[in-house]
Chain A
């Protein structure tokens, strides 16, 4: 086609050329800076000590939002800032709570005052030494934080007792202090954020950890670089970590298979077996840190009848749920607390399935006047809930309860659960620390874990456990809490699940803490 020499054509072509040029310029300018090529050795390295150097490319669930530990509540942010900012204590892969920036923590005889000795010779990545003042500032921040204050209510004051010694004063005996100090959000930062505002710190965090923040290209990647002055000599091995957030579960798995990333957080359970059998890829699992439940709303007259609750407990086929809905990644739950927590009661088992007995119980309840129709709220688009709810629907129909499945988007679902505006729902929870006080506190804080049931017994038992220094007695109290929930059958335990990561074979030394958090300090590439 010949181009007309008409002047209007020139005008339009010019306009379009400007638009296209603009598009290309923005496109080019948007490219990430350095290349994120895989460093280190070849595939198949099984040696646990990595070769120093290399860039590890990590695909996260979603983008980090806020790298200020006292303001963040989300896991992707936590998994990034915990590489930069260390805590006084941390949860190890074996579930033990081990000191990091603390050397020791000693309680007074009445457990109302703890003296924490700080590790000596530790420096922040900007060169300033770690002091008691920094710890006082940091603990004060987490105690007053909007997201986490409920876990630290017992603390009344934190003060410096010397250059490397801190005193924590509590309103009541608090033998469990060390357990809650292992929360990654209780990070230790410089006093007054080293002169930054909280908002500035959220994008420019500084800590004592093995890595420092090199760059954060919002929407693209976070690059962490080795902290050259890290207090643990010779560590970390990696030169850099580049964290991206592929937009979907599928994209994350495909990038791992396509060698565009070296490890990914949380592949969907449907893909775990496939990844395990993919050459060059292995799957790492934490202990069971997540627990899933069928939550019965006690405001519903149907569930006020204990026979119906017992019938549901007898009818639900947890084996089928784990096998089909969770693709065999989890395991059948017992106690409502995930099995990773301290004092987890392994003697609590879900009952043997007995649909005949369950059916009889429902029939009796119907004679007593209950309406055996109920709706089950699930998160729309969530494959596990989708299949799981159908299994539960079938199980309950078998015993005479008609279930309508109502998918709803996840934000609206949480709001409905908090408001008690549902009949049945499937919900899960994970713990951030192995100390069971977080789980017990969450149960109470969320209206008997959304069941809208009574909190009185749990409050009484947790109140006693929180101030009890004798570990045997604490174990007894937590056992009672677990038995109580199992007997009430308002919260029907379904399954436990680990945190799962997909890892390329040449990555060695990568570990997950017992609560599923990635530890990159010893990670690197094999020979």
Chain B
């Protein structure tokens, strides 16, 4: 199978996933009690005004009819119109997209930057102090809740030490780098341990394999063996771990955006859930699903490159 086929097949997988996401989200959010028209019009609104708004928003139709309308609009590329903002859901997401993409990209960058060296450090001498320290750090990282870590970092690094801003997105590229460091680090700390553990285990496994013994017997340098042979073969499973965890990372942005007062897509979704702004909830969930799919797609692609056997399977 060629590389193009591989990509094509992966892209085809996207369709049922997207369909499944629309189905689950639509029914879940519509089955929860709560009336968006009441939220929009307040306590003083008359029943007539509420009924009028239900009609205007199509909420007086049956749920299957509403779902079919929603799918029809989606196929035409229309994500729907927010009940609250009376603006297109797509536009509202795009307005808030930079914050969330920065958060995801920056976290992924920090994870790669920290997890790789830590795993190699731990695997370089299993059982040694450095290995134990890395493992302790990993367990601590896994155990700390993100929102708590966020509040602690804000209190000590932003408010008391005044090293970085307490909240917000910042101004300009360097402003974003500065302002988004703590939120991205908060997300990264929860995911780094998973990557470290997997990469460390793989490095140790590969280091024991026969071809490494052969390489040593051939007289290759230890440095060349580690980087060219061991790491290259240990990377594919770690890429999988990293891309699978992108799902958690994207989910983590919803909470961390709240903690750091970042008005991103996750925050848009939380307020939309509270206001029962169905089109926004549906659009954002779909958008998050697509991000996870796209990142996993890149992960598969990268893995196929790292491990040519996958291509032919």
Binding site for B on A (CB under 8 A): 1-2, 6, 8-9, 12, 15-16, 19-20, 23-24, 26-32, 35, 62-63, 65-66, 73-74, 146-151, 199, 202, 217-220, 244-248, 250-252, 254-255, 257-258, 260, 409-412, 414-416, 418, 429, 441-442, 445-446
Task: Give the contacting residue for A220; candidates B53, B263, B301; CB below 8 A.
Answer: B263
Cα separation A250 to B102 with both chains bound (whole Å) = 22
Contact check, A442 vs B43: say whether CB atoms are below 8 A apart.
Answer: yes
Additional A-B contacts beyond A62-B271, A248-B259 (17; CB < 8 A) = A1-B231, A8-B305, A16-B298, A19-B298, A27-B102, A146-B49, A151-B44, A220-B95, A220-B263, A246-B167, A247-B257, A247-B261, A254-B155, A409-B274, A410-B274, A415-B35, A415-B38
Cα separation A27 to B40 with both chains bound (whole Å) = 32
| Contact partners of B173 in chain A: CB under 8 A | 24, 27-28, 31
Contact check, A412 vs B32: say whether CB atoms are below 8 A apart.
Answer: yes
| Contact partners of A412 in chain B: CB under 8 A | 32-34
| Contact partners of A250 in chain B: CB under 8 A | 151, 259
Query: If the complex has contacts A218-B95, A411-B35, are A260 and B101 also in contact, measured as CB distance less than 8 A?
Result: no
* Chain B binding surface SS class: helix
| Contact partners of B158 in chain A: CB under 8 A | 254, 258
| Contact partners of A150 in chain B: CB under 8 A | 44-46
Cα separation A28 to B132 with both chains bound (whole Å) = 41
> B52 on the interface (CB 8 Å rule)?
yes
Cα separation A8 to B302 with both chains bound (whole Å) = 10
A-B contact pairs, 13 of them (CB 8 A): A1-B228, A1-B232, A2-B227, A28-B172, A28-B173, A30-B98, A146-B46, A146-B52, A147-B44, A147-B45, A247-B267, A411-B39, A411-B275
Cα separation A246 to B167 with both chains bound (whole Å) = 8
Task: Give the contacting residue for A445; candidates B3, B43, B98; CB below 8 A.
Answer: B43
Cα separation A260 to B165 with both chains bound (whole Å) = 8
Q: Which of B42, B227, B276 has the most CB of A within 10 A?
A: B42
Contact check, B105 vs A20: say whether CB atoms are below 8 A apart.
Answer: yes
Contact check, B42 vs A245: say whether CB atoms are below 8 A apart.
Answer: no
Query: If the complex has contacts A31-B171, A31-B175, are A255 and B166 also in contact, measured as CB distance less than 8 A?
Result: yes
| Contact partners of B260 in chain A: CB under 8 A | 247, 251
Contact check, A257 vs B166: say whether CB atoms are below 8 A apart.
Answer: yes
Query: If the complex has contacts A246-B261, A258-B159, A260-B167, are A15 and B46 also in contact, measured as CB distance less than 8 A?
Result: no
| Contact partners of B40 in chain A: CB under 8 A | 73
Q: How large is the interface on B (under 10, 10 to 19, 20 to 34, 35 or more residues)?
A: 35 or more
| Contact partners of A148 in chain B: CB under 8 A | 44
CB distance from A312 to the nearest CB of B (A): 24
Query: If the complex has contacts A12-B302, A32-B171, are A411 and B274 also in contact, measured as CB distance less than 8 A?
Result: yes
Cα separation A255 to B154 with both chains bound (whole Å) = 10
Cα separation A220 to B95 with both chains bound (whole Å) = 9
Contact check, A257 vs B159: say whether CB atoms are below 8 A apart.
Answer: yes
Contact check, B44 vs A251: say whether CB atoms are below 8 A apart.
Answer: no
Cα separation A258 to B44 with both chains bound (whole Å) = 38
| Contact partners of B32 in chain A: CB under 8 A | 409, 412
Q: Which of A24, A27, A73, A429 has the most CB of B within 10 A?
A: A27
Interface residues of B in 183-199 (CB under 8 A from A): none
| Contact partners of A35 in chain B: CB under 8 A | 171
| Contact partners of A441 in chain B: CB under 8 A | 44
Contact check, B176 vs A27: say whether CB atoms are below 8 A apart.
Answer: yes
Interface residues of B in 1-55 (CB under 8 A from A): 3, 32-35, 38-46, 49, 52-53
| Contact partners of B259 in chain A: CB under 8 A | 247-248, 250-251
Question: What residue in chain A is nearest B98 (Cβ atoms)?
Answer: A30
| Contact partners of A199 in chain B: CB under 8 A | 86
CB distance from A21 to the nearest CB of B (A): 11
Contact check, B263 vs A63: say whether CB atoms are below 8 A apart.
Answer: yes
CB distance from B293 to the nearest CB of A (A): 14
Contact check, B97 vs A30: say whether CB atoms are below 8 A apart.
Answer: yes
User: Contact mask B82-119 → A, CB, 8 Å, 1/0?
Assistant: 00111100001001111101100100000000000000
Contact check, A29 vs B261: say whether CB atoms are below 8 A apart.
Answer: no
Question: What residue in chain B is nearest A257 (Cβ atoms)?
Answer: B159
| Contact partners of A24 in chain B: CB under 8 A | 173
| Contact partners of B45 in chain A: CB under 8 A | 73, 146-147, 150
Cα separation A29 to B232 with both chains bound (whole Å) = 37
Pick the 6 closest A-B CB pairs, nearest first: A30-B98, A251-B261, A411-B34, A246-B261, A258-B166, A73-B42
> B247 on the interface (CB 8 Å rule)?
no
